[in-house]
Amino acid sequence: MSTPHNSAVLGQIAETVLLPGDPLRAKFIAENFLDDVEQFNAVRNMFGFTGTYNGKKVSVMGTGMGCPSIGIYSYELIHTYGVKNLIRVGSCGAYDPNLKLYDIILAIGASTDSNYAAQYALPGIYSATASWELLSKAKKAADENNIHTVVGNIVTSDVFYHDDTDSWKKWAKMGCLAAEMETYALYCNANRAGVNALTVLTVSDSIANHTETTAEQREKGFKDMMKIALELA
């Protein structure tokens, strides 16, 4: 069985899937961290691969940018292909001035300016949170490998180029560590379906400190994040 966005057949995708936004990062992860790799998707150039890590079957697939895109791919992975553990591995812009480039965030929850949860017709504002099972395992894996991590709330935004260039400061005052564009939808889909999801982020730039990495560094320089995520497989 395939979908309009994924040409995989049942059985090709592992129960645990790593989800970078950039499909080229998915390709890089497959080629550099997995063994016995098989490509299962290239529809719309949203590359997906399955291989093994320490003998365990694991998949990796790009999601694109924003809640609508990851919303489609994660929904199909869960409901069509039976994925049980969805681990977003991505980059973020730090709001907290204490965060440095390449610091790693484990996102316990995601605040948002997105309207993604409106589909559920809830009688209030939904707090999208990570799976404690994955979060606790990720923190343990990081500590055992002497990798410093920060656990906290992040912001999933629909807007990259915000008209109000100081709007981030209001989120920062509420203790939000950083911004990205996908986690809220991922957590909503996973929580609604009763499966596990976790976002692991590497700080690629600091909005607070006006520092940033290059595109090549973002693609290839996040090895500690990958070590944590792959341990969850």
Which residues are designated catalytic?
A: 205
Cα R_g (the chain), whole angstroms: 17
d(CA 125, CA 12) in angstroms, rounded, equals 37
Residue 23: CB partners within 8 Å, gap ≥ 6? 45, 46, 47, 61, 62, 64
